[in-house]
Amino acid sequence: MDTLPILSILTWTPALAAVLILFLPQLIKSPEAARANAARWIALVTTVIVFALALWMTLAFDETKTGYQFVERADWYGMIQYHLGIDGISVLLILLTAFLMPLCILASWTSIEKRVVEYVAAFLLLQTLMIGVFCALDIVLFYIFFEAGLIPMYLIIGIWGGKNRVYAAYKFFLYTLLGSLFLLIAIAWMAITAKTTSIPDLQAFEFAKNAQTWLWLAFFASFAVKMPMWPVHTWLPDAHVEAPTAGSVILAGVLLKMGGYGFLRFSLPMFPEASNDFAPFVFALSGIAIVYTSLVAFRQTDIKKLIAYSSVAHMGFVTMGIFSGNEQGIQGALFQMLSHGVISGALFLCVGVIYYRKHTREIAKSAGLFNRMPNYAAEFLLFTLGNVGLPGTSGFVGEILTMQGAFNVDPVTAMVAASGVILSAAYMLTLYRKVVFGVIVNPALSTITDMNAREILIFVPLIAAALYLGFQPNIIFDQTATSAVALVDAFHANFK
């Protein structure tokens, strides 16, 4: 693109707004409520502007070209450069991030009452770091964005979370940091060996076979935790349960996608032989994750925990698709990431609607909501079916494609994954029946009110996205196809 540094604008605008918001106490001397309101409005306007810019960028993105677009490059220090750019793999993840943020701000409008200024500032900072992860083309820059994102999320869980928030925040932080240290060592070694930190150059660099093995493992340690893959998933249910609603939305919607993005951006192109060698290992973990966590989800009594475990199962499809190493698998994995971002985000918002009103996430205490909240019941049903992967919702497309991709390589894993679809129907429909149908037994629910205009406004875009992507998946594939094909071709070129 000509001269407009659109990626820098997208990345740094939220951070600038966050700084502005943090100075509000100096600017507005009036009561705290006024400051909180100003902070909310600034955050909402900023995130809507960022979304509009991201949408414009997606439309301006030339999906027929391989390689990176909107590239910005400047020297930073040493060999490290401030190097940004996007391709078909990252463009939609940025759009997803920008799409979910205004909804998160709206979802926190009344449910967050204390330290609102700091809360929205943390969210805006997080947005900067998330967009930065997806457009960084320097591996050190990527690492900085990737790791720094832990800090605002740690604060969001640790300060605005539920009862057990400190345990959950520490667990989240330590788990992810431990994985990332291996990543840091690997990055340092790669920079010294290849004498560059540029991601496109590293992708072209051919690492020796035995080096690939341990580099792959080091990257895997970090991305598997982030994903999260079985057996390093146990931070996720705790983090989700304790996080405030909007925190869960971002966690499930965007932060989990960084793991999959990492596999696509680094593991597959940089360590193709190791990726090929380890594919059966990843398939095994994915298959276990899908069945194991689906069965655990089936037994949960806390709605958020159930959806968290279901997320782990759905991410199993993503890892399975990525390491199938073929076009269907990778396109399906990307689609599944985007679809899960919309659907799981919406499901956490659904939980938030009830939690905000009655402060319960217990399935047993929510029975009979249909009687008082028909609108809520309808939209909850849509996302329940989307999570099951019903044809016509976006959830179906990613699952079928990743299974197709895996079937070409490893039919057994694909069959195990298919059983996960049945299990997801079992736990989601059970959840829906228990929460929505039946008679109200909890007296606190007898006065519960249906969704208000603000809440409906939050759900409308999500409903539209889940259905539109379900019926017109090609709008995604058109954007991702060129990059996915290039990735697959480069991957297979190593085995000829």
Binding site for other proteins (CB under 8 A): 171, 174-175, 231-232, 234-235, 292-293, 295-300, 423, 426
Contact between 280 and 325 under an 8 Å Cβ cutoff? The reply is no
Using the minimum distance from each CB to other proteins, give the nearer residue, 76 or 170: 170
Whether omega before 152 lies within 30 degrees of 0, making that bond cis, reads: no
Q: How far is the CB of 291 from other proteins (least distance, A)?
A: 9
Residue of 95, 110, 366 whose CA lies nearest to 257: 95
Using the minimum distance from each CB to other proteins, give the nearer residue, 238 or 273: 238
Using the minimum distance from each CB to other proteins, give the nearer residue, 265 or 304: 304
C-alpha 321/C-alpha 333 separation (Å) is: 5
Whether omega before 231 lies within 30 degrees of 0, making that bond cis, reads: yes
Q: How far is the CB of 168 from other proteins (least distance, A)?
A: 11
Q: How far is the CB of 420 from other proteins (least distance, A)?
A: 12
Q: Count Cβ atoms below 10 Å from residue 274 Cβ, excluding itself.
A: 23
Q: What angle do CA 51, 55, 60 make, to 5 degrees?
A: 145
Using the minimum distance from each CB to other proteins, give the nearer residue, 101 or 291: 291
Contact between 339 and 398 under an 8 Å Cβ cutoff? The reply is yes
DSSP 198: B
Q: How far is the CB of 103 from other proteins (least distance, A)?
A: 30
Q: How far is the CB of 310 from other proteins (least distance, A)?
A: 13
**248: CB partners within 8 A, 6+ apart:** 240, 304, 348, 351, 352
Residue of 376, 381, 340 whose CA lies nearest to 355: 376
Residue of 416, 466, 168, 434 whose CA lies nearest to 287: 416
Using the minimum distance from each CB to other proteins, give the nearer residue, 125 or 243: 243
Q: How far is the CB of 159 from other proteins (least distance, A)?
A: 21
Contact between 46 and 98 under an 8 Å Cβ cutoff? The reply is no
C-alpha 262/C-alpha 267 separation (Å) is: 7
Q: How far is the CB of 458 from other proteins (least distance, A)?
A: 31
Using the minimum distance from each CB to other proteins, give the nearer residue, 68 or 170: 170
Using the minimum distance from each CB to other proteins, give the nearer residue, 89 or 423: 423
Q: How far is the CB of 388 from other proteins (least distance, A)?
A: 16
Using the minimum distance from each CB to other proteins, give the nearer residue, 292 or 432: 292
Contact between 383 and 342 under an 8 Å Cβ cutoff? The reply is no
C-alpha 166/C-alpha 162 separation (Å) is: 9
Specify burial of residue 108 (Cβ count, 10 A radius: 0-12, 13-18, 19+): buried
Using the minimum distance from each CB to other proteins, give the nearer residue, 190 or 428: 428
C-alpha 166/C-alpha 10 separation (Å) is: 32
Please provide the distance, in angstroms rounded to a whole number, between the alpha carbons at the two ends of the chain. Answer: 36
The CA distances from residue 267 to 210, 226, 259, 279, 304, in Å, are 14, 14, 11, 11, 31
Q: How far is the CB of 225 from other proteins (least distance, A)?
A: 11
Using the minimum distance from each CB to other proteins, give the nearer residue, 292 or 355: 292
Q: How far is the CB of 241 from other proteins (least distance, A)?
A: 13
- β 80-86/69-77 pair status: antiparallel
